[in-house]
Structure 1
Amino acid sequence: MAEPNTNQSNGVSTTPKNTPPTTTYTPRYIDIGINLADPIFRGRYHGKSRHPDDLKGVVGRAIEVGCSKLIVTGSSFKSSRDALKLAKEFPGTVFATAGIHPCSSSIFSSTHHKHHDESQSEGEGGEEAEHTPACGPDPTKPILDGDGVDHARSTKIMTDLADLITQARSNSTTTTSNSPAAELVAFGEFGLDYDRLHYCSKEVQLHSFAAQLQLAASLTLQLPLFLHSRAAHADFVRLLQEAFGPRLERLEKGGVVHSFTGTAEEMRELMGLGLYIGINGCSFKTVENCEVVREVRLDRLMIETDGPWCEVRPTHEGWRYLVEWEVKAKAEAEAAAAAAAAVAAEAETAAAAAAEAEAAASDPTATPGAEGEAVKPGRRQRQKKPQQQQQQAKKNQKKESEVPERYKVVKKEKWEEGAMVKGRNEPCTIERIAKIVAGIKGVSVEEVCEAAWANTVKVFGVDS
């Protein structure tokens, strides 16, 4: 793959640090879950500006690796509106979802004091409130049942959410055959998360999920569902079936359970109901996780990064598949280079032989050298470096990572244009998800990319 040129007009750096070996297939990706509305992609961390807004660079790097479609997750009223704004800012590339995440569902509680339009997540107070919740579980200080649901507030919340969806559809600049609004492509993110009860109690989560399912089912033109389920499978399936039927036969547009980390049995049940499975870095943490991924059918697969969270780490079981991919790619590149060198050497030898023959014909007294050229007096053979010098040179070389970064990575305090920020997962890393899935399943990256692309376009209609 040739290195793209730098696009100076939009401030996007388009020069990768490392490029993968040339192949006949150019991968294409759709990131079904990326939290681009989080201020971290604008250079703000915990309420403080740490570096310039580099969102265009983030989107540009995604496009460079072939990730041309980004579905930005709406997890609260605020983030849903921000996601819709981004869809307007990057038409045809960015799309949005709208819903209330289980970790943002404390707005339904009788003890919640903020207006739901201003709230991101109860339990994330002050400067943290503007950020999306991290993906990892936290069993500390769970909010216990008992506070109850404020039903009058709930009615107002659902009316406002319905209005938000209606307004998004009416404001849409274009439409597709699969979705009533090109910008708004899914209802969600919503569902249940019993691993993170420190954000919201179980009883309030159950109410939030059921209320949103009722709204989703009542829409004249249904939207696909962007679903969240952590450690809550039985209740999750039960409420879905209550809203859409035992086989989800009334779910017109389908849906995806994103960031899946459940069991193989749970995954098979979800696929049996016609749902799709979203895979990201959190799906590769353990051997058990990877065995689940192995069983996900390609016709039910979608891929995502869930950035700025859920990056693939060296401690994850899935990392070894990246290492294997790099080893194989390096071996293929070296073999190709050796073959090219052999051809060049053969051509050079033939040319030298022809030149020697021509010289001998014109000057019979010339004495050919070992390499077909006249021996010149006083010429010294080039000596190799002493062994000690070679060993020292090897010691001075910086150890190369087993999985090299495509782009330079820096800490946020040392931000520079064109570089990724350490610890901030970006949609350009989706190529790692595809490689790991391919390695686990024993198929090609092309098969993974094309299956995920087709499934995502079928459900969300983002390839208009």
Structure 2
Amino acid sequence: MAGSIIRRRFIDIGANLTDPMYQGLYNGKQCHAADLKTVLSRAVQFGLEKIIITGGSLEDSEKALKVAKSDPMLYSTVGCHPTRCLELEDDAQQYIDSMVKLTKDNADKVVAVGEFGLDYDRLHFCPKEAQIKNFALQFEVAEKTKLPLFLHCRNAATDLLEILNRHRDSYTSGVVHSFDGTYKEAKSFLDLGLYIGLNGCSLKTDANLEVVQKLPIDRLLIETDCPWCEIKASHASSEHVQTKFESVKKEKWSEAKQVKGRNEPANIVQVFEVISKLKADIDADTLAQTIYENTQKVFFPNS
């Protein structure tokens, strides 16, 4: 367990809590008991007030919503991830209509359209042309629901920006999550009224940290993207992490400890600590409150 408990308020804008790891399953093998409730309890201890569970397909969005309904602090998104976008090929309109219905029928829990966008690092899952076409189609969901966008971008900023500009009348706000691009790319997203989401994958290299230093704090959101994107010892950001969690291998699971290699929402505090160090001229409490208010403004404007 870590040292002093953080009392600042956090919202994790992106957590993959439908992942089987939180049911104790790793590559189809049961390694320990389901422990999502324990994971959420640990998150609350470290200041988490809300967590948004990302949906990566229609089926996954339904699963995310089911989990979100299990706890008042949980919310979800509805969308089709670029690596899953071939699912729209058979009957795109029916798929879109189903996403719209799922969103409107659960307006108290669904807070964003996505995760959707472009991923040119994993074209083996879905070709570039199909990604572009099926990303563009999903703006109908945004237009009909008036919800913010939860965007995925991997090595595809130029095309993503072109499509976002083309559909500018379909949305008012959103976030480019897990951002790891250049400052020029970030500035282009900011100019569209979007926010930048940061997690461990956004903080790997010295170049990443230099970009984060330049970003305006009134446009920052934070996330874990768990169970992925943890801050690893090999990352340039690791030296700025103050809060350490004891972890064990999955085969030696203990309720009081994290699972080694499985990120979880409580680690949002580590992401914040890195950003706070990079923004050393800003009071940490002020920074935390600003990021919290940013998140409320984007995803929870009526609360």
TM over 0.5: yes
2:147 corresponds, among 188, 204, 223, to 223
* CA deviation string 1:41-100 (max 9, x = no partner): 111111222110100000000000001210111111222111111121002x00000100
2:285 matches 1:439: no
Question: 1:99 is aligned with what amino acid?
Answer: G
* Structure-2 separation of matches of 1:419 and 1:317: 25
Residue matched to 1:162: 100
The correspondence of residues 252-331 of structure 1 with structure 2, limited to 5 A, is 252=172, 254-322=173-241, 326=242
2:159 matches 1:235: yes
SS at match of 2:68: helix
Can you give the 5+ residue segments of structure 1 that lack an aligned partner in the other structure? 1-16, 109-149, 169-180, 327-403
SS at match of 2:69: helix
Give the superposition deviation at 1:462: 7.3
Residue matched to 1:142: none
* Structure-1 separation of matches of 2:190 and 2:100: 28
* Structure-1 separation of matches of 2:110 and 2:288: 23
2:29 matches 1:48: yes
Give the superposition deviation at 1:266: 0.3
Q: State how many pairs are aligned.
A: 302
CA contact (8 A) 2:7 2:46 kept: no
Question: 1:306 is aligned with what amino acid?
Answer: D
CA contact (8 A) 1:42 1:55 kept: yes
Kindly, what percent of the aligned residue pairs are identical?
43
The correspondence of residues 113-124 of structure 1 with structure 2, limited to 5 A, is none
* Structure-1 separation of matches of 2:7 and 2:259: 26
The correspondence of residues 341-352 of structure 1 with structure 2, limited to 5 A, is none
2:135 corresponds, among 191, 209, 215, to 209
* Structure-1 separation of matches of 2:79 and 2:114: 4
Question: 2:156 is aligned with what amino acid?
Answer: A
Give me the TM-score of the superposition, normalised by structure 2: 0.95
CA contact (8 A) 1:182 1:462 kept: no
SS at match of 1:53: coil
1:186 corresponds, among 109, 112, 116, to 112
* Structure-2 separation of matches of 1:232 and 1:72: 24
1:94 corresponds, among 71, 74, 95, to 74
CA contact (8 A) 1:214 1:243 kept: no
Question: 1:459 is aligned with what amino acid?
Answer: V
* Structure-2 separation of matches of 1:463 and 1:309: 30
Residue matched to 1:83: 64
* Structure-2 separation of matches of 1:39 and 1:317: 29
Q: Which has the larger radius of gyration?
A: 1
Can you give the 5+ residue segments of structure 2 that lack an aligned partner in the other structure? none
* Structure-2 separation of matches of 1:411 and 1:315: 19
* Structure-1 separation of matches of 2:141 and 2:244: 43
> Closer, same or farther in 2 for the Cα pair 1:228/1:78, shift >3 Å?
same
Looking at secondary structure, tell me which structure has more strand per residue: 2
Give the superposition deviation at 1:463: 7.7
RMSD of aligned alpha carbons: 1.7
Question: 1:65 is aligned with what amino acid?
Answer: F
* CA deviation string 1:172-200 (max 9, x = no partner): xxxxxxxxx22111111000011111211
> Closer, same or farther in 2 for the Cα pair 1:238/1:106, shift >3 Å?
same
CA contact (8 A) 2:247 2:258 kept: yes
* Structure-2 separation of matches of 1:445 and 1:208: 41
* Structure-1 separation of matches of 2:252 and 2:213: 39
Residue matched to 1:69: 50
